[in-house]
Amino acid sequence: MEQQVGESLIQLGNSDGSNSSSSDPVTRVRKLLFRRMLVGIKDGRFFLGTFHCLDKQGNIILQDTIEYRSTRRSSPSPMEQRCLGLVLIPSSCQNSCHVDCSVEEQLSLLKV
């Protein structure tokens, strides 16, 4: 565990700046931990929470999650929200996934 953390810290240092897009995606996703993440699912709801965990199957765990849902299928419509806390969003129902980042970060961080 400790070793892993150290590793990710080192890589974080290395990937700083221009060569980040070339580094390993696992490392870059690790850097997204604790960021705000917005996951949309197939029935039209969105979950906004802190990125907590990702597994090989693509299941995501978010912390301190808020659920957003619209009151009408036709958009735009007002949103309802409620707090859910720790949620697991199976990859099978994920539809979209966004992270909160600055514009300049956007390009370097997320390019595959």
Partner 1 sequence: MADKPVYEEASIDGQLPKLASIPASDTTVWADASPLLQAACAGLRDGELIHGDNFNLFAAMSALEIMDPKMDSGIVCTYYSIDEAIENGAAPIPISLDSTIDVRCTIDIMDHLLACEAAWHKGHSLAQTVFSCIYLLRLDRTAPHALLHSYCRIIRATCKAVVSVVSDARTHEEEDLFTMTYGLPLNGDGDDKCLSILNAVEETISRQLRACKATSSKRRLPEDLEPLQSNPNLEEGFCKALLCRLRFRKHFFHVLSCMKRPQGRGLESARKHIASCLTELESILKSAGFLRSCFDESCEGDIDDKTTASGFEPIGFDAMLNSRLSAPTPPRAIKILSWKKAVEYFVKLLHDLDVICSYSLDPHLESLLRFVVQFQKSQPDLVARSHLQLLLVQDGKLYGRDPFFAVINKAAALPESTKNHDIQKNESFLQLGMLVMNLLKILCTNAAWQRRKLGKFLQDWRVIYVQLELAFRNEYGEVSSSSNDENTCMKIFQHILLWVEEQTYWIAFRFLILGFELELYSTGEYCMVYWYLYAVLIKLAEKTHLMMAVSHDTAKRKGKKKKDSPKDLARESRIPPAVLFLQCYICLAEGLTMMLAALRNEIPVFHSPSPFNTEHEKFVQHFELLQRACIPDHVSYPSYKESTTHARFSTLAMYNYFKDAQRIAKEVKSSFSNDPERLAELRKLEQVAEHNSVAQNVICRLGALDPSLRVSFEFSHHPFFATVVVKRS
Name the minimum Å distance from CB 13 to partner 1: 17
Q: Which is nearer to partner 1, 19 or 34 (CB)?
A: 34
Name the minimum Å distance from CB 26 to partner 1: 5
Query: For binding to partner 1 (CB under 8 A), which residues are involved?
Result: 5, 24-26, 28-30, 32-34, 36-38, 40-48, 52-58, 60-61, 67-73, 75-77, 79, 82, 84-103, 105-106, 109-112
The angle subtended at Cα 13 by Cα 102 and Cα 53, nearest 5°, is: 65
Q: Are 108 and 18 in contact (CB under 8 A)?
A: yes
- Beta partners for residue 85, in sequence order: 65
Q: Are 49 and 87 in contact (CB under 8 A)?
A: yes
